[in-house]
Amino acid sequence: MARFTDKTVVITGAAGGIGSALALLLRAEGARLVLHDLSPDALAALPAELAASAEVVHVAGDGTDDEVQARIVTAAESLGGVDGFAPAAGIYLEAPLAELSFAQWRQTLSINLDAVFALTSKLLPVLNDNAAIVTFASVAGERGSRGHAHYAASKGAIVAFTRTLALELGSRGIRANAVAPGIIRTRMTNDSVSKHGDEWAAGTPLGRHGEPEEVARAVAFLLSPDSSFITGVQLDINGGLYMA
């Protein structure tokens, strides 16, 4: 399959478990990529298929920073404008509400929500007609999550933002959808899985945690023409955890 030949996709959090799995999948299907992550070392450690080249541009730095966002936009424009955008960067920190500081609250919303709004806004002028946006929500945004009020709030808000994008950009053929992963085996969830993994798996209808590639395949579908009449939806990729 080559659903992304001559298409440019921007991925933030590209060195993370889900981001890198998505980048590998899209590159195998012909996509040009703008890959962002906080650390240049993390980007340099990506598989050889994702090394910086004429068709794969690396942008390192704090994704909440205006200058870093501007470099992402410039890179995307140099590759022909944006046909797909997957803001996968995020943080997942544990803190019970009674111990949650305002600084921790703002840090999580800044990365998980504010940066998505800011970069989306900056990409609008280089967003090609019929492009697709896939944001990252979470089962926590649907159900709440003990010890993760800041994370759950950011992910619930992402869905409302995404549906508004679908409403406002639909006249250009641009689609916007969200995916809601459950517990996926990545570095970001290692600590929480080590504490609660067995309990969470037992509460999931499929009885296990997910893998990054399972999320990547769903995101690729929503970015591709295969989902050409789907917009404004949240796709749950959590083994049925949202029902438990």
Annotated catalytic residues are 151
How far is Cα 140 from Cα 172, in angstroms, rounded to an integer? 31
Q: Which of 133, 43, 32, 125 is nearest to 86 (CA)?
A: 133
Asked if residue 90 lies in contact with residue 148, where contact means CB atoms within 8 angstroms, the answer is no
DSSP output for 92-124 = -----GGG--HHHHHHHHIIIIIHHHHHHHHHG
Other beta carbons within 10 Å of 83: 23
The two tokens of residue 149 are 């009020």
What tokens does 48 get?
Answer: 């050889």
| Token pair listed for 9 | 């996709």
Strands 127-136, 82-87: pairing is parallel
CA distance 214 to 212: 5
b/e sequence 133-170, b meaning 16+ C-beta within 10 Å: bbbbbbbbbbeebebbbbbbbbbbbbbebbbebbeebe
